Amino acid sequence: MLIDLGIAPIVLTKPDKPAHRGQKLQATPVKSSALLHQLSVLQPPTLKDPTVVEQLKNENPDLFVSIAYGEYIPKEILEIPKLGTINLHPSLLPKYRGAAPVQRALMAGETETGITVAEVTQAWDAGDILAQERFPIAPEDDTGSLLDKLADRGAAMLKGLLPKLLDNKVARTPQNHPEATFAPMIRDEERWIDWKRPADEIVNLIRGLSPKPGARARFKGGQLLIYRARTVSTSGTPGTVVSLEKEGPAIAAGEGALLPLDLLPENRKRMSGKDFMNGYHLQIGQTI
Terminal alpha carbon distance of the chain? 42
Same domain, yes or no: 220 and 145: no
| Residue 267 CB partners (closer than 8 Å, separation 6+) | 222
What is the residue range of 243's domain?
188-279
Distance CA 51, CA 161 (A): 31
User: Which of 144, 179, 214 is where one domain is finished?
Assistant: 179
Would you give per-residue pLDDT tens digits along the chain (288 residues)? 344 444 568 899 999 988 777 778 899 899 999 999 899 899 999 998 899 999 999 988 999 999 998 888 999 999 999 999 999 999 999 999 999 999 999 999 999 999 999 999 999 999 999 999 999 999 999 999 999 999 999 999 999 999 999 898 999 999 999 999 999 999 999 999 999 999 999 999 999 999 999 999 999 999 999 999 999 999 999 999 999 999 999 999 999 999 999 999 999 999 999 999 999 999 999 999
Model pTM score: 0.92
Query: Are 220 and 165 within one domain?
Result: no
CA distance 249 to 232: 10
Residue 15 falls within a domain, yes or no? Answer: no
Q: For the chain, give me the number of helices (H) and strands (E)?
A: 7, 14
Task: For residues 80 and 166, state if they share a domain.
Answer: yes
Report the domain count for the chain. Answer: 2
Q: Examine residue 38 and state whether it is found in any structural domain, yes or no.
A: no
Same domain, 145 and 66: yes
Same structural domain, 158 and 202 = no
Q: Verify that 132 and 206 share a domain, yes or no.
A: no
53 lies in the same domain as 127: yes
- Statement to judge: residues 156 and 214 lie in one domain: no
Q: Residue 109 has what pLDDT?
A: 98
Q: Is residue 232 part of a domain?
A: yes
What's the rounded Cα separation, in Å, for the pair 100 and 102? 6
Considering the domain architecture, whether residues 127 and 168 belong to the same structural domain is answered as: yes
- Residue 3 falls inside a structural domain: no
Give the whole-angstrom CA distance, residue 33 versus residue 5. 16
For the purposes of burial, counting CB atoms within 10 Å of the CB of 285, is it exposed (0-12), middle (13-18) or buried (19 or more)?
exposed
Residue 46 identity: T
Which among 150, 179, 208 is the end of a domain? 179
Instruction: Tell me which residue of 253, 252, 254, 275 sits closest to 265, measured CA to CA.
Output: 275
- Same domain as 171, residue 201: no
Residues 192 and 169 in one domain: no
Is 230 part of any domain?
yes
Looking at the domain assignment, is residue 14 inside a domain?
no
Q: What is the pLDDT of residue 258?
A: 97
Q: Would you say residue 16 lies in a domain?
A: no
> Are residues 161 and 202 part of one domain?
no
Instruction: Examine the fold and report which residue of 130, 147, 179 is the final residue of a domain before the chain moves on.
Output: 179
